[in-house]
Structure 1
Amino acid sequence: MRGIVAPVTTNEAPRLLSQAPNFRDLGGYRTRGGGRVRSGVAYRSGALDRLDDADLAALRDLGIRQVVDLRTVFERENNADLLPDGADYIPLDVQGDHSTGADLVEVLTDPSRAESVFGDGGATRFMHEVNRILVTGEEARAGYAEAVRRIAAGPGPTVVHCTAGKDRTGWAAALVLELLDVPRETVFADYLASNDRLAGLRAAMRDISEQSGVDPELVWPMVECRRSYLEAAYTEVEEAFGSFEAYAAEGLGLAQSTIDALRGRMLE
Structure 2
Amino acid sequence: MADTIINPPFTGVHNFRDVGRVINSFSRSNLRIQEGLLFRSGRLDEITPLDAQLMIEKYHLKTVIDLRTKSEHLKRKEVLGLEGSGVRHWDTVKIHFIGRRFEINLIKQLKWWKAIWFILLMITGYRMAAIRIMGRNVMRPKGLIGLSKDSLQFCQSEIVQALEVYLNPQAYPVLVHCTQGKDRSGLVIMLILFILGVPVDLVKADYVLSNQGLERVRASMMDEVMEIGMDGRYLEAPEIVVDEVWKFVQEKGGVDVYLDEIGFGEDKRTKLRTLLLM
Unmatched 5+ stretches in structure 1: 1-8
Other-structure match for 1:46: 42
Q: CA deviation at 1:131?
A: 0.7
Q: CA deviation at 1:15?
A: 2.1
Cα distance in 2 between the residues matched to 1:209 and 1:131: 17
Matched, 1:196 2:189: no
Matched, 1:230 2:230: no
Cα distance in 2 between the residues matched to 1:257 and 1:87: 28
Equivalent residue runs for 1:168-207 within 5 Å: 168-207=184-223
Which of 144, 153, 174 aligns to 1:127? It is 144
Cα distance in 2 between the residues matched to 1:228 and 1:104: 31
Unmatched 5+ stretches in structure 2: 77-82, 107-124
Aligned residues: 246
Matched, 1:250 2:267: no
Matched, 1:75 2:90: no
Other-structure match for 1:34: 30
Matched, 1:64 2:57: no
Q: CA deviation at 1:257?
A: 2.3
Q: CA deviation at 1:222?
A: 1.0
Which of 233, 236, 254 aligns to 1:221? It is 233
Greater helix content: 2
Q: CA deviation at 1:56?
A: 0.8
Q: CA deviation at 1:265?
A: 1.5
Q: CA deviation at 1:32?
A: 8.4
CA contact (8 A) 2:71 2:127 kept: no
Change (3 A) 1:258 1:147: same
CA contact (8 A) 1:32 1:183 kept: no
CA contact (8 A) 2:17 2:39 kept: yes
Percent identity reads 24
Which amino acid letter does the alignment assign opposite residue 168 of structure 2?
Answer: A
Deviation sequence 1:113-159 (CA, Å, 0-9, x none): 799649xxx8363322211112111xx21122222221121312111
Cα distance in 2 between the residues matched to 1:206 and 1:153: 36
- Find the residue that maps to 1:152 and give its secondary structure: coil
Cα distance in 1 between the residues matched to 2:75 and 2:201: 36
Change (3 A) 1:71 1:127: same
Matched, 1:163 2:179: yes
State the superposition RMSD in angstroms.
3.4
